[in-house]
Chains A and B, each alone.
Chain A
Amino acid sequence: MTPLLNIRNLEVTSDRKKIIQQCSLHIRKGEVHIIMGPNGSGKSTLCHTIMGHPQYRVTRGSMKFNDVNLQKLSPTERAKLGLFLAFQYPQALPGVSLGQVMRATAHSMPLPKLKQALQNALQSMQLAEEFATRSLNEHASGGEKKRLEMVQLMLLKPKLAILDEIDSGIDIDALKLITQAINEQRAQQKTSFLIITHYPRLLQHLTPDRVHIMMHGRIVHSGDSTLGKQLEQEGYAAFEYTHKLTRTLRKKQTTQRD
């Protein structure tokens, strides 16, 4: 089975600075992948690049979604293919409501049905009805914003949802709601997930297929969910060694070739 998301040897540049190098990632339908890594390791950049943020340029490698080359597609087109990004810092949109945004999306349904679906999704995230009509992400708490991202995910039903630190800045109750929703989407819609997190606690609520460690713009290690435990005990330092080792090996290979 070809992977849903197929990233090969990706190099990403922003302002002439290489942020991601030699990054490969394959996610199949219904799989949950988790990426962990220290601050500044390129996790958010990877999320934004997959979604098509104009600030990031792919300078090497390839990115395919359902065998379609993503690189030339606009964020709108990527969304229409079934990609979704839940932002770490969702943008406030003064005067623009969640209802309006949902109505404007390509996936819009008949209005009464949409309204109902929106209310259901808000309810399941324990958000008041008025969140549908007030300015999106404006005067909302950190936890509310994250839950609003999940509401949008539930309505848009993407094939692959990228969640950029969906679990940061929220309390334990919100975390439960969010992970429940992730598991439900996965079970019912066969949604695939790429989840960025700093907290191994998230792994207790989900059963990820793969856990990746990202450092210095590379995925330095991939494993199963036990990787989280190892990380909790040993910290990123343990993987710093692997990172250095692979780099040295690569260098050696290049020198030998010369």
Chain B
Amino acid sequence: MSKTKPHTIQHPQENYTAGFRMPERAVFKARKGLNEKIIQQISQHKQEPQWMREFRLQAYALFQKKPMPRWGADLSAIDFSDIYYYLKPTRQSEKRWEDVPSEIKTTFDRLGIPQAERKYLAGVGAQYESEVVYHSLQKHLEKKGVIFVDTDTGLRKYSKIFKKYFGTVVPPGDNKFAALNSAVWSGGSFLYVPQGVHVDLPLQAYFRINAEKMGQFERTLIIAEEGSSVHYVEGCTASTYSSGSLHSAVVEIIVKRGAHVRYTTIQNWAKNVYNLVTKRAVAYQDAVMEWVDGNLGSFKTMKYPSVYLMEPGARAEILSLAFAADGQHQDAGGKVIHVAPHTSSRIISKSISKGTGRTSYRGLLKVHRGATDVKSRVVCDALMFGKYARSDTYPTIKIDELQTQIEHEASVSKIRDEQLFYLTSRGVTEDEARGLIVNGFIEPIVKELPMEYAVELNRLIEMEMEGSVG
């Protein structure tokens, strides 16, 4: 492989192949900015029940009241009045790609979604702006009672189960952006896996922002009944603009007794997107919840997938990978709350910053009183390139129970000259040597990804690393 410009820092956008734009398409677009009227409009368009409309309006009141977070990434430049909160691109969600309007289908073709679906996915949801435009699930899973639809359909068609869980894991008042999402949510996935059903291939949701100054507020609700298992994967990209877009999702997951949920994210937003997401799961007896969270794109990300371990035997695993190139700030990490005894958790965070990029690991590990025999291990490693890159660690550990076993390790490293020298003395170019070291650094997380995503992730990172100065 020949590498160009070995000694210049490349602007990350040069490599962002997903940044292409299509002509804007809307069957309805709400006016810019946010007020009660717009929320009413969204609800009306969706023909929602009264309770949801009230839920939205109450959440909007909370959003107005809640202060902006004064920690984490600098969000002071967000202008809430300069964002479109709802854009409906098509009349309805389709079950066949042929029925999706051609410019939208072309977009997903270019992103490789239908191809991936044919090869290794059990079902796909594709969201464009505010609405899901395509949704599919393999027949045999449908027959077993698995529900995998967009969240609006979930509310309409499965209202009983929907209402039982919606907003119970992340209440609207949780934080300002959870409140915003609760007020204007649209799209996302509703996934229900019945007792004892194992979904053997991953289900994928793909989120795309095409319009300028767009806000995307999908809402995902996953319920894994006793003894079931599922792997849900989400990916996201956006067209590149100079003005900021806002992505603020809420994800709620309920993992019942003995169930196993893995939620994998490859976040590759364009570098003008604020990505402020609340993701939380509750895990019951002997349940396993795993978050594999890869953050490569966006302008600023604040995201800390969390797990509440509610009953004995529950286990949480959070693998977090953050990559901040020039101008980016990835404020990511994970939270585990041990409510019950005999629960265990592991958080592994790997972050890379280069150029003027900044990564922060922000984590919470909390052990409630009475939660005895808890085991937890937190490892965070940071790798930095160049003298302007920055990395910080904010691990919060609150232990109210003495009988626990907690380990915490943190390390920050620069790629050592000696490692580079070793590799170059073998005839490897300096750029390739850096690529090898970085890929080696993130290997513990990449190996947890399905093969196809691992390849994609390695490719993305190699592109970012090309021509960076050590």
Q: Which residues of B contact A135 (CB under 8 A)?
A: 440
Interchain CB contact under 8 A, A100 and B425: no
Tell whether B424 is near chain A: CB-to-CB under 8 Å.
yes
Contact code string B397-431 (vs A, CB < 8 Å = 1, else 0): 00000000000000000001111011111111110
Query: Which of chain B's residues have a CB closer than 8 A to the CB of A55?
Result: 417
Do the beta carbons of A93 and B419 come within 8 Å of each other? yes
- CB neighbors of B among A68-108 (8 A): 74-76, 78-80, 84-85, 87, 90-91, 93-96, 100-102, 104-107
Kindly identify, within residues 410 to 457 of chain B, every residue whose CB is under 8 Å from any CB belonging to chain A.
416-419, 421-430, 432-433, 436-437, 439-444
Residues on B with beta carbons closer than 8 Å to the beta carbon of A54: 417, 421
Cross-interface CB contact of A79 among B418, B424, B437, cutoff 8 Å:
B424
Residue of B nearest to A100 (CB): B436
By beta carbon, the residue of chain A nearest B419 is A91
Residue among B423, B425, B429, B444 facing the most chain A CB atoms (10 A cut-off): B425
Question: When each residue 217-243 of chain B gets 1 if its CB lies under 8 Å from chain A and 0 otherwise, what string results?
Answer: 000000000000000000000000000
CB-CB < 8 A to B440: which residues of A?
A: 93-96, 135
Q: Which residues of B contact A76 (CB under 8 A)?
A: 424, 427-430
Scan residues 20-77 of chain A and give those whose CB is less than 8 A from a CB of chain B.
Answer: 48, 51-55, 74-76
Number of residues of chain B lying within 8 A (CB) of chain A: 24
| B443 contact set on A, CB distance < 8 A | 94-95
Which B residue sits closest to A92, measured CB to CB?
B419
The answer to whether B427 and A106 have CB atoms under 8 Å apart is yes
A152 close to B (CB within 8 Å): yes
- Residues A91 and B430 in contact, CB atoms below 8 Å apart: no
Verify if A156 is at the interface (C-beta below 8 Å from B): yes
A87-B422, A104-B433 are known; give 16 further A-B pairs, CB within 8 A: A48-B421, A75-B424, A76-B427, A78-B425, A79-B424, A79-B425, A93-B436, A95-B439, A96-B437, A96-B439, A101-B423, A104-B436, A106-B428, A107-B427, A152-B426, A156-B426
Q: List 16 A-B contacts (CB under 8 A).
A: A75-B421, A76-B430, A84-B426, A85-B425, A91-B419, A93-B423, A93-B437, A93-B440, A94-B440, A96-B437, A96-B440, A100-B436, A101-B428, A101-B436, A104-B433, A135-B440
Q: Which residues of A contact B (CB under 8 A)?
A: 48, 51-55, 74-76, 78-80, 84-85, 87, 90-91, 93-96, 100-102, 104-107, 135, 152, 156
